[in-house]
Amino acid sequence: MNAVYINGAACISVQDTLNKDFIYHLKPEKSVQVLKAIEPNYKELIPPALIRRMSKTVKMSSMASHYALKEAKVEVPDAIIIGTGMGCSQDSEKFLKNVIDNHEEFLTPTHFIQSTHNTVSGQIALALQCHAYNFTYVNHSSSLEFSLLDAKLQINDNEASSVLVGSTDEQTERTMELYRLNDTIKKEANLPVDYLNSSTDGVIWGEGASFFVIEKEKKENSYAQLIDIQITNKIEINIVPTFIEDFLAKNKLTRNDIDVVMLGFSGDSKSDTYYTKVMDLFSNSELLYYKHLSGEFNTASGFSTFMACHILKHQEIPEVMMINHLKKDKIEHILLYNQFGGNDHSLILLRKA
């Protein structure tokens, strides 16, 4: 497959990532169980009457997609592809609560209609009057990667020349309660988290929406080339080096060609061992981590992809992300490796545009 270009990128996250100078104001979050996204003033783009009926993930996605399209100078994309792990869970919870509270009678359909996972892609399409290919991937923590892969195929097969790709996940009160009960979220007694040397299980949970405009042609404002994506559900820890080296070999690269490796250390002692294994492979690369800035959630790799785009375009790495302090004169290739609880392993390879 041919490489395609990321020509627009926007992110709403725990950090103030809509701010132009956000890269200089990144703050690690290590002492809170659940992190909330910094939400913009939605009234700038969305009519107040619509805002009231939108869940948080729809609002975040509508804003992030607008800024990504504006940056790429694309009015209406040829396809809209969204990845989400939890979908519109706020509306799902509201609907189920109404079912219980009203004893399954006199239910309004609004929350049910808006609770489907493809609500986000549908709302964006309606706002843009886009009648083209519209798809939503719900593949847990590899949802964004499947979306990027689909977008790449759409462009390589000449089905589209510009594709809006997004990833989004929101928090809900009941789900967070359940995650605390089953120890997905770190216990308060185990805070603050040492992300790189954690000895306890569980994560700090986050949320956010990251959107990208993928196109066939390079532009003046291009962020990066999207070279390849690799996804596998389960893999033994001793096979991870082979998994990565085979992926690089497929793209005619070696470990020494990778300038930056971005790893998804989440503070979960069980699953972070995968990343520790990878660190040994890349002694000549700058090693970065990011979930101390975004929190862990199903589409947290959207935040890392957004950060990688900025690093490639501006050739600048925030010190708060550094694991080692190796300095490269020029950043040409970035490899992103993510997994969630030992499952859904993904690799994203980006090159400077």
3-state SS, residue 353: coil
If you search the block for the tokens 């989004």, which residue do you land on? 168
Q: What is the pLDDT of residue 71?
A: 96
Give 193's DSSP letter.
P
Cβ-based neighbour number of residue 32 at 10 Å: 17
Superfamily of domain 4-215: Thiolase/Chalcone synthase (3.40.47.10)
pTM: 0.94
Pick the CATH number of 227-352 from 3.30.420.40, 3.40.47.10, 3.30.360.10, 3.50.30.30: 3.40.47.10
Residue type, 216: K
For the chain, list residues with pLDDT below 70.
Answer: 93, 95, 110-115
User: Same CATH topology for 4-215 and 227-352?
Assistant: yes
Kindly list the domain boundaries of the chain, sorted by start residue: 4-215, 227-352
Give the pair of three-digit tokens for residue 180. 């605390």
Residue 80, strand partner residues: 134, 164
- Cα separation of 300 and 214, whole Å? 19
Q: What is the pLDDT of residue 275?
A: 97
Strands 343-352 and 224-232 come out as antiparallel
Q: What is the pLDDT of residue 47?
A: 87
Q: What is the pLDDT of residue 112?
A: 66
Give the pair of three-digit tokens for residue 353. 């545009």
Give the pair of three-digit tokens for residue 159. 């089905």
